[in-house]
Amino acid sequence: MSDVILSIKDLKVNYGGIEAVKGISFDVEEGSIVTLIGANGAGKSSTLRTIAGLVKPAAGKIVFRGDDITNCDTNVIVRKGITLVPEGRRIFPDLTVLENLRVGAYLRNDDISGDIQWVYDLFPRLKERSWQAGGTLSGGEQQMLAVARALMCKPKLIMMDEPSLGLAPLVVRGIFDIIREINAQGVTVLLIEQNANMALKVADYAYVLETGRIGLSGTGKELLTNDDVKKAYLGS
Amino acid sequence: MDLRKDKKKDMLCTAVALAAMFIVLLVMELTMKSTSILFTVMKKGVIYALVAVSMNLLNGFTGLFSLGQAGFMLIGAYTYSILSMPVSVKMGESVYKYYDCAIGIELGIFPSLILAGVIAAVFAALIGLPVLRLKSDYLAIATLGFAEILRALFQWDAMGPVTNGANVLRQYKDLTKVKIPFTNIQFPPTLFCFLVSGICIAIIVLLINSSYGRAFKAIRDDEIAAEAMGINLFKHKEMSFVISSFFAGISGAMLAMFQYTVQAAQFKTAMTYEILLIVVIGGIGSVTGSCIASFLFIACNEWWLRFLDESSNNILGLNILRSGFRKVVFSIIIMIIVLFFSKGIMGDREFSWARIRAFFARFKKKAAASEGGEPNV
């Protein structure tokens, strides 16, 4: 087994008086695809937002490649190599595709032309639309742009919050192909999904979140055949 | 390759157009009467263009709905007039009649102009600390409040030794005191306003097109996504606020130069609304829109619609014209603009040579088609 790139210990997140995440612990191994599945309100998004530094945790510890990043600001965390593809895509609608990508590389001072070429090779569709405003893209293209934008800061770990949200099945398959492709190029992926079936198929390891706690965990294949998971998330 | 070639051509076009504008201005100033209303409108228009563009940087490009512009202009105007006032005037009785002036220094025009911007920026940095944590309407209310506080502060009796209380400041270095360097010849005043404003607006445009500008626009489009990309929201908002106020301060200083007198009572909320109106009419997020709109606004306000205020003029024998009628007509024009150009004259686009070329190309095609007698499909 390879090294642990991200390690979460007893993470608790509160919104006002409401405990969204009630002490979860999990590890992400370098070079793997790890997925968190769970129903709405299970605390998946809160976990990712806390890792990204957008929300401060109430308790617990987040360690990334040996550094404690628990209370770091987002720009520090991004610089260390974690990026978040936010839920609902959230591309910049009035900026062109190229400008969106440039903002993704905002914290970098080195030459980015090679990486723009790299993401354009990953998403040829975006290259065609390079001068178009982000808001004029279709949903699937916007999701591609959101992933490409996150890749522009050369992350070690890319976190995706429901990349399949609101997309047609065929487009979803394309997005998951891309996730595999990115992973094959050496980027660790932490994925959140409602679409448990697809997520478990690509995942090396998976955790099931239930109302702020981790219920089950196992490899993707194990959970796909697990009866409880089948009943609750796969609908069969 | 073609794109780069076009870009070079566009830059050349812009440079030629700007040079032509300055030459025309110079010729006009040398040949026409300097008291012509045209010069007044151009001077005030270009000063307002600068403050409108600075407000657009904040409202249109960073998405911060701030209404403090008049306050920062006030700081700029006061800083400039106090610093550039000759010491003999400060110590005399003609301006500081009721107070002993506490400022014993006198600076040249350029140091005073730049300090006017710097002091406005310092105030903005302090005000920004609490205010920029607010969002949308609350930010607007808070900045509006601070602008009013500033005005009250400058009129305050205890500030008299510095600001001359609520009394007028004058006899500082106004536009007629600008000399051509190393000579004693007066610098053409309209040209001076265009040069200073032009340089400032050019700096703002460069900023907007830089990576900082992209970060500002990203914050405007989606704060959460911008933060997730590692953009420090507060730092960038503060930066935008401070830079915007710096240029508002400079335009306030130029307004002081243009007017010959300065009084805090002038810099009311209504002034901010005038600037906001220019920004909205020109198009939120368009620098060229703000410039065009500010000339239109000032020309209407000071010149073209003035005849409506004269009760001696009759229309169709009706005696409806009287002082204040201008504002009624003006409001109607604004309503028409808002209804039919809901995104302003320019929307969020900028002036571009490519569009002009496209327009002429289409025009030519049309002409050719009608000459040939072919139906225009």
Query: Which of A86, A95, A107 is opposite residue B230, by nearest beta carbon?
Result: A107
Name the strand (E) or helix (H) holding A190: strand A188-193
Q: Is residue A131 part of a domain?
A: no
Q: Does B6 touch chain A (CB under 8 A)?
A: no
A210: in domain? yes
CB contact under 8 A, B211 and A106: yes
Query: Torsion-angle region of residue A137: left (phi > 0), alpha (psi -120 to 50) or beta?
Result: beta
With beta carbons under 8 A apart, name residues in chain A contacting B228: 52, 54, 74, 78, 83-84, 86, 90
Q: Does B310 touch chain A (CB under 8 A)?
A: no
Residue A150 lies in a domain: no
CB-defined contacts A:B, below 8 A = 71
Element (H, E) at B67: none
- pLDDT for A152: 93
**The two structure tokens encoding residue A185:** 């190029």
B221 in contact with A, Cβ within 8 Å: yes
**pLDDT for res B326:** 81
* pLDDT of res. B85: 92
The whole-angstrom distance between residue A231's C-alpha and the CA centroid of its chain comes to 25
Please report residues of B whose CB lies closer than 8 A to that of A133: none
Instruction: Report how far residue B70's alpha carbon sits from residue B268's, in angstroms, rounded to the nearest whole number.
Output: 7
B248 touches chain A (CB under 8 A): no
Best mutation target among B2, B219, B229, B286 (most A Cβ atoms within 10 Å) is: B229
Q: Do A104 and B229 touch (CB under 8 A)?
A: yes
Residue type, B243: I
Extract the tokens encoding B358.
């496209």
- Sequence letter at residue B259: Q
ipTM of the complex as predicted: 0.90
Q: Over range A51-69, report the average pLDDT.
A: 92
Residue A1 reports pLDDT greater than 60: no
Instruction: Determine, for residues B217 and A94 on separate chains, whether the beta-carbon distance falls below 8 Å.
Output: yes
Whether chain A has a CB inside 8 Å of the CB on B228: the answer is yes
As a whole number of Å, the end-to-end CA separation of chain A is 33
Distance from CA of A225 to the nearest CA of B (A): 35
Residues of chain A positioned with their CB less than 8 A from the CB of B226: 92, 103
A78, A92, A153: residue with CB nearest B217: A92
Domain that holds residue A30: 4-93+156-234
Query: Which letter does DSSP use for residue B347 in this model?
Result: T
Indicate whether A53 belongs to any domain: yes
Instruction: Using alpha carbons, list the distances in angstroms from residue B81 to A111, A150, B87, B111, B149.
Output: 47, 50, 12, 12, 20
Tell me the whole-structure pTM to 2 decimals: 0.90
Distance between CA atoms of residues B208 and B213, nearest Å? 4
How many CA atoms within 13 Å lie on the side-chain side of B104? 0
d(CA B232, CA B219): 10
**Alpha-carbon dihedral sign for residues B61, B64, B69, B71:** negative
* Tokens of residue A24, six digits: 């979860």
Please provide the average confidence, as pLDDT, over all residues in chain A.
90
Q: Residue A174 maps to which CATH number?
A: 3.40.50.300
Pairing mode of beta strands A4-15, A18-29? antiparallel
Q: Which residues of A touch B224 (CB under 8 A)?
A: 54, 86, 90
Distance CA A152, CA B231 (A): 14
pLDDT value at residue A236: 55
Distance CA B194, CA B351 (A): 18
Beta strands of A91-136 (E only): which ranges? Answer: none
CB of B227 within 8 Å of a chain A CB? The answer is: yes
Q: What is the pLDDT of residue B361?
A: 85
The verdict on residue A16 lying in a domain is yes
Residue that is written with structure tokens 């504008």 in the block? B21
Give the mean model confidence (pLDDT) for residues A1-20: 86
Q: What angle do CA B117, B123, B128 make, to 5 degrees?
A: 120
Contacts 24+ apart (CB under 8 A), A109-118: A112/A152, A115/A151, A115/A152, A115/A154, A116/A152, A118/A151
Residue A59 lies in a domain: yes
Cβ contacts (< 8 Å) between A148 and chain B: which residues? none
Taking the Cβ of residue B213 and every Cβ of chain A, the question of whether any pair is shorter than 8 Å is answered with no
Helices and strands of chain A, counted as H and E runs: 10, 10
Interface check A87 vs B, CB under 8 A: no
What pLDDT does residue B317 have?
64
**Range A119-129 average pLDDT:** 92
- For strands A82-85 and A33-38, give the pairing: unpaired
The per-residue DSSP string of A116-164 comes to HHHHHHH-HHHHHTTTSBGGGS-HHHHHHHHHHHHHTT--SEEEEE-TT
- Residues paired with residue B179 on neighbouring β-strands, in sequence order: B186
What are the residue ranges spanned by the domains of chain B?
Answer: 1-31, 41-267
The Cα A180–Cα A165 span in angstroms is: 18
Cβ-defined contact of B229 to A78 (cutoff 8 Å): yes
**What residues of chain B lie within 8 A of the CB of A54, using their CB?**
224, 227-228
pLDDT score recorded for residue B315: 66
Q: Following CA atoms A57, A143, B58, B191 in sequence, which dihedral angle do they give, to the nearest 10 degrees? A: 150
Question: Are B132 and B139 contacting, i.e. CB atoms less than 8 angstroms apart?
Answer: yes
pLDDT tens by residue, chain B, 377 residues? 456 677 888 888 889 999 999 999 999 888 888 888 899 999 999 999 999 999 999 999 999 999 999 999 999 999 999 999 998 888 888 888 888 888 888 999 999 999 999 999 999 999 999 999 988 889 999 999 999 999 999 999 888 888 888 889 989 999 888 888 888 888 889 999 999 999 999 999 999 999 999 999 999 999 999 999 999 999 999 999 999 999 999 999 999 999 999 999 999 999 999 999 999 999 999 999 999 999 999 998 888 887 777 777 666 666 677 777 888 888 888 888 888 888 888 888 888 888 888 888 888 887 777 765 444 44
Q: In terms of CA atoms, which chain B residue is nearest residue A107?
A: B230
| Nearest Cα to Cα of residue A183 among A158, A205, A208, A148 | A158
Helix (H) or strand (E) holding A64, with range, is: strand A59-64
How many Å lie between the alpha carbon of B47 and the closest alpha carbon of chain A? 29
